[in-house]
Structure 1
Amino acid sequence: MNNKNIGILYIVPTPIGNIQDISDRALNILKTVHLIIAENTKYTNNLLKILKIKNTIISFHKYNENNQTQKIISLLKTKTIALVSNAGTPVINDPGYELVHTCHKENITVIPIPGPCAAITALSASGLSSNTFYYAGFIPKKKNTRINFLKKIKNKQTTVILYESCHRIIHTLNDITNILGSKRKIVFAKEITKKWEKIKYGTSIQILTWLQKDPCRQKGEITLLIKHKKKKKKIISSKIKKTLHLLIKYLSMKKSIELISKIFKIKKNDLYKYTINQFQHDKK
C-alpha cells in the first residue's frame, strides 16, 4: 500500500440486510486496509467470511471506546484502518464519535464511504416530506422519559425519524397515539432490505391495530417515521377585522397594522397577509 495512504480512518457502511448492498469501494477498502475495527468482532468475522475477505479485526464497542480510542489514534500514525458497525453506517447510533472527533483534532484524515443506512432508506420510501427531517435515534426505553421525549417532538414541523425495538413497539405506539394523536400519520418500516421487509403508511391508531392483530408483524428491526405537524393558520377574529377596517379609513395601512398588533398582541406579518388578501378580494 502506498505510504501516502497511511493515516486514514475509513468509515465503511455494511449491509443492513441484503448482502448485495455492499459497494465495490467498501469491499476494496475492507480488503486493503491494515486492520478493521468492529463493534462486534464475531459478527464482522462472519461478514468477512461471506465476502471472502481476510483481515485483522479488533474490538471497538461502546464499553471500550474510551480506552481504545487513543490506541487506535496511535495505530493510525502508521496504518490505515476501517471502522465498521454491526450493520449500516458506523457512528450513526453506533460507537465511533469520539474516535472521529479525535482524528480531526490530530489532523488524521477521515474518509466516509457512502452506503446503507436504515433511517435514510426508510425515509426515501416513506412518502413523507424529506427536504428536512429530524433524526432522533432510539426512542427512550423508560416510560416517563419516552413520554417527555414524545411531548418534545409532538409539534415538530418536519419529518421525525426514530428507531424502536420490537419488544417495545406496542408500548411506544400507544404513547404516540395518546400524545401525538390517533390521527397522526406515521410510517412503520421493518426489516429494511431483508426478506420480511414491510413499509406501512397510516395513522398511529391504524398501525397500532394492524400490529396487534398479528404479533409476527412486530418482529424485526424497526424504523418509525412521523409526519410533520402542520402549522395552524392564524385566525383573525371579527373584532380585530372590524377595528382594522375602521383604522385604515383614517390611518395608513402600516400605522393601522402597528396599532392593531400592539392592542391585540398579534403578529404584524399575519395582519399584513390578511389586509393584502382582503384588498385583492375587494378589487375583484
Structure 2
Amino acid sequence: MKLTPCLYIVATPIGQFDDLSPRAVEILNSVDWIACEDTRHSGHLFAHHQIKTRTTAIHDHNERQRAQWLIEQLEQGKSCALVSDAGTPLISDPGYHLVKQVRAAGYKVSAIPGACAAIAALSASGLPSDRFSFEGFLPSKEKARLDKLAALAQDPRTLMFYESPRRVLNSLESLAQAFGGDREMVLARELTKTFETYLHGSIDDIIERVSNDPDQQKGEIVLLVRGYDSASKDELPADALATLALLQTELPLKKAAAIAAQIHGVKKNALYKHAIAEAQAQQ
C-alpha cells in the first residue's frame, strides 16, 4: 500500500502481541520509517508480526533533534510511524514535541488507535468512568508528591496514575495521607499479561495487601482512586481545627495532626489534608 506523506501515531499492545490491530500491522508494513522509543524492544513485536520496515530511535533525549530529520523524510514524500514501547504514544511517553513540529511543518498526523493501560484499567476497575483525570506518574520526592495529591484531594473525578514497582508503596502511603486511608481505589497490574491483577478496596486495604505480597510490587502498575464525594464528608469540628493550629506552631504537621486526631476522635488524614489545603490557599 502506497502512503502519502503522513506521521502515523500507532498504538501497540501493552502485553499481548496479538492485540496489535490488523490496520496497525498494515500501516507499519507500509510506511517508509518507524520511529521507536526503543528499537530493540519494538523489534520483538515487529518480528512476531513479520514487520520489516526500517526503524529509527526517537526518545526523550533526542526527540526535538530527530523531529527535524523525520520532517525531512516527509518532505521527500515518505511516510513515517511513531510507536512507544507499549500502549498509545504520547501518554506518559515521548512524542509531543515530534507531533507538534510535524503539524507546524504542515504535514498530516493520523492516529491508529489501540491499547492504553490507563483506559484499559479504568474500563475494568468498577470505579466511576463518566468523568476521570489521567495524572501520569507521581513525583518521586515525597514533598512534591504530597503537594500534587493535596491539590487533587477534592477532585470529584476518578483519578488515574502510573507507578513503577519500586515506588508503588511510597505512592500508596502518600495517597492515604492526602486522601484518607478509607478512600476507595483499585490497583491494576500487568494488564493483559499472565499475572494480570486487580486489587480493589480502601487505600489502607491496598497498602496492607501490597506490603504483605511482594508479587504485587512487580510489573506495570496503574493506580485508580475514586474521586472526592463532598456529600459523604463530615465537616471537621472547629475545636479539632483549633487544636491542630495550636500544635502546628510547635510540631511538624504529621505529628500535630496525629495528636489533634487522638484528642478529638477524628481522622488524622482529614486534619492533615485540611492543613495542606489551608497552606496552599495562603500562598
Tell me which interval the TM-score lies in, with the shorter structure as reference length: 0.7 to 0.9
The letter of the residue matching 1:141 is: S
Residue 71 of structure 2: aligned partner: 73
Shift of 1:232: 3.3
Give the aligned partner of residue 62 of structure 2. 64
Report the alpha carbon displacement of residue 234 of structure 1 after superposing the two structures with TM.
11
Q: Which residue in the other structure is 2:160 paired with?
A: 161
Distance 2:146 2:135 in 1: 14
State the partner residue of 1:103.
102
Amino acid at match of 2:180: G
Give a deviation string over 1:25-72, Cα, whole Å, max 9, x none: 000011111110000011112221121111100010000011101111
Is the contact between residue 132 and residue 157 of structure 2 (CA under 8 Å) also seen in structure 1?
yes
Identical-residue share of aligned pairs (%) = 40
- Residue 79 of structure 1 aligns to which amino acid in structure 2? K
Instruction: Output the CA distance in 2 between the equivalents of 1:205 and 1:8.
Output: 48
Larger radius of gyration: 1
CA distance in 2, matches of 1:32, 1:188: 38
* CA-CA distance at 1:186 after TM superposition: 0.6
Q: Shift of the alpha carbon at 1:153?
A: 1.0
Task: State the partner residue of 2:30.
Answer: 32
Change (3 A) 1:187 1:234: closer
The verdict on how the C-alpha distance between 1:79 and 1:126 changes in structure 2, with shifts beyond 3 A counting, is: same
Q: 1:86 to 1:234 in 2, by over 3 A?
A: closer
Query: SS where residue 231 of structure 2 aligns?
Result: coil
The answer to whether the 8 A contact 2:11-2:114 is kept is yes
Runs of 4 or more, structure 1, over 6 Å off, are none
Structure 2 CA distance for aligned equivalents of residues 156 and 141 of structure 1 = 21
In structure 1, what residue type is equivalent to 2:72? S
CA distance in 2, matches of 1:210, 1:41: 37
| Structure 2: 5+ residue stretches without partners | 235-283
For structure 1, the residue ranges without an aligned partner over 5 or more in a row are: 236-284
**Which residue of structure 1 lines up, in the alignment, with residue 250 of structure 2?**
none
Q: Which residue identity lines up with residue 17 of structure 1 in the other structure?
A: G
Instruction: Give the 5 Å matches for 1:145-160.
Output: 145-160=144-159
1:168 match: secondary structure: helix
Whole-angstrom CA distance in 2 between matches of 1:85 and 1:144:
30
Give the structure 2 partner of residue 10 of structure 1.
Answer: 8
Corresponding residue for 1:278? none
* Pairwise CA distance, 1:196: 0.4
Tell whether 2:45 aligns with 1:41.
Answer: no
Match of 2:143 in 1: 144
For the 8 Å contact 2:11–2:112, the answer to whether it is kept is yes
Residue in 2 that maps onto 1:177: 176
Structure 1 partner of 2:195: 196
Distance 1:234 1:121, change over 3 A: closer
Conserved? CA contact 2:67–2:102, under 8 Å: no
Tell me the SS of whatever aligns to 2:198.
strand
Name the CA distance, whole Å, in 2 between partners of 1:152 and 1:226: 14
Task: Give me the TM-score of the superposition, normalised by structure 2.
Answer: 0.80
Matches within 5 A, 1:240-279: none
Aligned residues: CA RMSD: 1.4
Q: What secondary structure, in the 3-state scheme, does the structure 1 residue paired with 2:230 have?
A: coil
For 1:74 and 1:83, how far apart are their aligned partners in 2? 15
User: 1: distance between equivalents of 2:61 and 2:232?
Assistant: 49
The separation in 1 between residues aligned to 2:42 and 2:213, in whole angstroms, is: 33
TM-score, length of structure 1 as denominator length: 0.79
Encode CA deviations 1:258-284: one digit per residue, 9 max, x unaligned. Answer: xxxxxxxxxxxxxxxxxxxxxxxxxxx
Provide the aligned length of Structure 1 versus Structure 2: 233
Secondary structure at the residue paired with 1:151? Answer: helix
Amino acid at match of 2:191: I
SS in 2 for 1:194: coil
1:233 CA drift (Å) = 7.6
Aligned mates of 2:141, 2:17 — CA distance in 1: 34
What amino acid maps onto 2:73 in structure 1? L
